[in-house]
C-alpha cells in the first residue's frame, strides 16, 4: 500500500502566515502539520509516499528532503494551482500504479492514528473506505449517508440541506477502482475535481464504498483557532525531554521539552511547553500549551497558549496569549507615550484587548 498526501492548498484562512510558509509546514506542538500526517501513514506500514505540492513545493521539499530522516521515501508531484482532491489522485496515477493507497489531507491531524481504519480496509477491501466524523454543521463538508452496515449510500459535497451529520474527513483508503472514478467525473461548479464526486460515481455503479466513524480527536488546521486548538491537544501528550541548558534560577513544572542548544535563564516554564533548538528564554514566564520554534528569543515577557515560529522575538511584553507569531516577526514593548503603535503588513490581523 502506498500513500498520497495532498499538500498544495493555499491556506487563505491562515494569512498572513501562509504568504511565505505553506500551511502544511506550519508547526503544531513543534512539528510541521504535514509531518504529523506522514507519521500517521508510517505508523500503518506505509513508507512510499507522494506529496502533491503547490507554489511552495520547493520549500516543502527542502524541509522534508527525500524522507529518509522520517523513515520514508518521498516523491513530489507539482500542481500548478488547487484543482481539487481528486485531481491529486490523477496526478499520482503513475506513482500509485496498481497498488491500494491511502489518500491523506496534509493539513489534517489524527493524534490517535489510523490503525483501526487500516485494519478494517484490509479485512474487507471495499472499492474505497472513508473516515467520517459527526459535526454540528455539516454544510461546510462532504457529507456521507450510510446504511446500518456502514456502507455509503450517498455522498454530497457541501449540501445546503444535509441529510446526515457525518462529515467526510481527511483519510481515504482506496483501491485502484478510484482511478476509473476520477477519470469519469468532470470539474464541479468551482472548477475542481471533487473527491466526493468520484466516490459517488463508485456508489452509483454499485461498487462498495464503506465508512468508519471517527470518535476521537481530529482537526483540520485551516484557521488560526484550529491551529491553536490542535497545538493544545498534541502538547497534552508531550513526552518531556530537557536537552538544552536550564540555569539554577529557573523553574520547570509539568512536561517540558527543551531542544539542544536552547537556553532558559531566570525563567518559569509551566508545561506542556516545547522550546526549539537555539532559542533563548530570559527572565520570562512561558506556558502552558506553548510551542516555541528554533532560534527564537523571549526576553522579559510572558507567553501562554501560543505558537512562535522559527526566529520569532518577543521582548518586554508581559502577557502574550492565544497568539501565533510568524517567522522572524518581532513583538516589542514600546516606551512612552502610552497607546498602541502597529506596523502591519498586507492581510495582517491585530486584536487589542480593552
| 62-120 pLDDT, tens digit each | 999 999 999 999 999 999 888 999 999 999 999 999 999 999 999 999 999 999 999 99
The count of residues in the chain is 354
CA dist., res. 304 & res. 295, Å (int)? 18
Structure confidence by residue, pLDDT tens digits, 296-346: 999 999 999 999 999 999 999 999 999 999 899 888 887 655 555 555 554
**Tens of pLDDT, residues 136-161:** 999 989 999 999 999 999 999 999 99
Residues of the chain above pLDDT 90, percent: 79
Mean pLDDT over residues 267-294, rounded?
Answer: 97
Q: What is the 3-state secondary structure (H, E, C) of 73-111?
A: EEEEEECCCCCCHHHHHHHCHHHHCCCCEEEEECCEECC
Query: What is the pLDDT, as a whole number, of residue 349?
Result: 63
Give the per-residue pLDDT at 344: 55
pLDDT on residue 276: 97
Q: How far apart are CA 64 and CA 57, in angstroms?
A: 11
Cβ neighbors of 215 (< 8 A, separation 6 or more) are: 133
**Which of helix, strand or coil describes residue 117?**
helix
Residue ranges of the alpha helices (H) in 125-194? 177-184
Assigned C-alpha cell, 271: 508545561
Q: What local confidence, expressed as pLDDT, does residue 336 receive?
A: 59
Domains of the chain: 2-234 (3.90.550.10), 240-332 (2.160.10.10)
Q: What is the distance, to the nearest Å, from the Cα of residue 278 to the centroid of all Cα atoms in its chain? A: 24
Confidence of residue 23 (pLDDT cuts 50, 70, 90): confident
Return the C-alpha cell found at 290.
506553548
14-23, 48-57, 89-98, 145-154: least confidently modelled range: 14-23
Q: How many angstroms separate the first and last alpha carbons of the chain? A: 54
Residue 47 clears pLDDT 70, i.e. is over it: yes
pLDDT of residue 13: 80
**C-alpha cell of 339?**
497607546
CA–CA gap between residue 193 and residue 90 (Å, rounded): 10
Contact 60, 75 (CB under 8 A): no
pTM: 0.90
Amino acid at each position: 500500500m502506498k500513500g498520497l498526501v495532498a499538500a498544495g492548498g493555499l491556506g487563505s484562512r491562515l494569512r498572513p502566515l501562509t504568504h511565505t510558509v505553506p500551511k502544511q509546514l506550519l508547526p503544531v506542538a513543534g512539528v510541521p502539520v504535514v509531518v504529523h500526517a506522514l507519521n500517521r501513514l508510517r505508523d500503518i506500514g506505509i513508507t512510499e509516499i507522494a506529496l502533491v505540492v503547490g507554489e511552495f513545493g520547493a520549500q516543502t521539499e527542502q524541509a522534508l528532503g527525500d524522507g529518509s530522516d522520517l523513515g520514508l521515501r518521498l516523491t513530489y508531484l507539482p500542481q500548478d494551482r488547487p484543482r481539487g482532491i481528486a485531481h491529486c489522485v490523477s496526478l499520482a496515477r503513475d506513482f500509485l500504479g496498481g497498488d491500494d493507497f491511502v489518500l491523506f489531507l496534509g493539513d489534517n491531524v489524527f493524534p490517535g492514528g489510523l490503525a483501526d481504519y487500516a485494519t478494517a480496509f484490509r479485512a474487507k477491501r471495499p472499492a474505497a473506505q472513508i473516515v467520517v466524523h459527526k459535526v454540528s454543521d455539516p454544510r461546510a463538508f462532504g457529507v456521507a449517508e450510510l446504511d446500518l452496515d456502514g456502507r455509503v449510500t450517498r455522498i454530497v459535497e457541501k449540501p445546503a440541506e444535509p441529510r446526515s451529520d457525518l462529515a467526510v474527513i481527511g483519510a481515504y483508503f482506496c483501491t485502484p477502482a478510484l482511478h476509473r472514478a476520477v477519470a469519469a467525473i468532470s470539474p464541479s461548479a468551482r472548477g475542481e475535481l471533487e473527491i466526493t464526486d468520484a466516490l459517488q460515481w463508485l456508489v452509483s455503479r454499485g461498487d462498495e464504498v464503506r465508512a468508519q466513524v471517527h470518535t476521537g480527536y481530529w482537526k483540520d488546521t485551516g484557521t488560526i483557532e484550529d491551529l491553536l486548538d490542535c497545538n493544545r491537544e498534541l502538547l497534552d501528550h508531550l513526552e518531556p525531554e530537557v536537552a538544552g541548558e536550564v540555569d539554577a534560577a529557573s523553574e520547570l513544572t509539568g512536561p517540558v521539552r527543551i531542544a539542544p542548544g536552547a537556553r532558559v535563564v531566570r525563567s518559569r516554564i509551566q508545561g506542556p511547553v516545547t522550546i526549539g533548538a537555539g532559542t533563548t528564554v530570559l527572565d520570562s514566564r512561558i506556558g502552558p500549551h506553548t510551542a516555541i520554534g528554533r532560534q527564537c528569543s523571549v526576553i522579559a515577557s510572558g507567553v501562554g497558549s501560543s505558537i512562535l515560529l522559527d526566529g520569532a522575538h518577543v521582548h518586554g511584553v508581559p502577557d502574550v496569549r492565544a497568539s501565533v507569531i510568524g517567522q522572524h516577526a518581532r513583538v516589542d514593548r514600546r516606551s512612552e507615550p502610552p497607546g498602541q503603535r502597529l506596523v502591519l503588513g498586507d492581510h495582517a490581523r491585530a486584536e487589542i484587548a480593552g
